[in-house]
Amino acid sequence: METNATPPTFTPQALIFDCDGTVLDTMEWYYPSWETVCNKYNIDFSRKKFYSLAGVPVANIFATILEEQNITHVSITTLMEEKHAIVEEQRHTSVPGRIECVCDIVRANHGRLKMAIASSGHKQNVLEGLKENDMFKYFDAVVTHEDVPEGKNKPAPDIFLLAAKQLGVDPTLCRGFEDADVGMASLRAAGMDACDVRKMKDYPHKFD
């Protein structure tokens, strides 16, 4: 566990979880849509690169990789539209699963601590994914990027701070769980105890 130098005896009063790649295994579920679109336009986008950009909005990810590879023959709008179409088609045959080692923490603390979701994802997708995996019932609040001002997404602390506010718990008394570098930065900026789920023994996606 990576923390904000909190005392070893720190006992949180609330738990706040990122969703994609933390509670739900949506990262792996979404990757084929990225792979298909990027391959079509000869854009290099490995699974490792995808995970390194976890927590970054879709448009920003496309902007980053196009700039890094000096690609100008396709627009971000086109890439987003084609990716969205693939994802919508994919929903007809499958849904994302759970990150069980994290969901075990959620289930174990249900009724003991207040809990919330703080996600950079779209609220509709987050809510649907939680409900499809029977996880929505465990959370007292669900905050997504639509709930904070534009430009205040992770790594800014606003999403986590709003989640703590909705739970009625001081941010410094919250423990947050994240799978992404930008999310960990967001937790630190919010003053929360920060747990990197990628370091958990049973976390399914690890990269050297």
pLDDT, one tens digit per residue, over 91-150 is 889 888 999 999 999 999 999 999 999 998 889 889 989 999 999 999 999 999 899 998
Structural domains for the chain:
14-25+97-199 (3.40.50.1000), 27-90 (1.10.150)
What pLDDT is attached to residue 120? 87
Which three-class secondary structure state does DSSP give residue 18? coil
Residue 56 reports pLDDT greater than 90 = no
What pLDDT is attached to residue 8? 65
What pLDDT is attached to residue 3? 44
How do residues 11-37 score in pLDDT, each as one tens digit?
999 999 999 999 999 888 999 999 999
Residue 79 reports pLDDT greater than 60 = yes
**What six digits make up the tokens of 189?**
């900026």
**Contact (Cβ atoms closer than 8 angstroms) between residue 205 and residue 78:** no
What pLDDT is attached to residue 34? 96
Residue 171 reports pLDDT greater than 90 = yes
**What six digits make up the tokens of 167?**
């739970």
**How far is it, in rounded angstroms, from Cα 52 to Cα 103?**
22
How do residues 152-166 score in pLDDT, each as one tens digit?
889 999 999 999 999
Q: For the CA atoms of the chain, what is the radius of gyration?
A: 17
What pLDDT is attached to residue 7? 58
More confident of the two residues 28 and 76: 76
Whole-structure pTM value: 0.84
Residues classed as catalytic = 18
What is the chain's mean pLDDT, rounded?
Answer: 91
Write 104-109 long-range contacts (CB < 8 A, 24+).
105/15, 105/177, 106/15, 106/17, 106/23, 106/135, 106/138, 106/139, 107/138, 109/15
**What six digits make up the tokens of 191?**
């003053």
Residue 179 reports pLDDT greater than 60 = yes
Q: What Å distances lie between residue 149 and 59, 63, 119, 157, 158, CA to CA?
A: 17, 20, 14, 12, 9
What pLDDT is attached to residue 52? 84
- DSSP class of residue 98? B
What pLDDT is attached to residue 57? 79
Q: In this structure, how many other beta carbons lie within 10 angstroms of the beta carbon of residue 94?
A: 9
What pLDDT is attached to residue 174? 98
Percent of the chain at pLDDT exceeding 90: 72
> Cα-flanking dihedrals φ and ψ of residue 71, to 5°?
-100, 125
User: What's the CA dihedral at 124, 127, 132, 134 to 10 degrees?
Assistant: 180
More confident of the two residues 27 and 194: 194
- DSSP class of residue 174? E
Q: 79: closest CA among 122, 24, 33, 18? A: 33
What pLDDT is attached to residue 208? 57
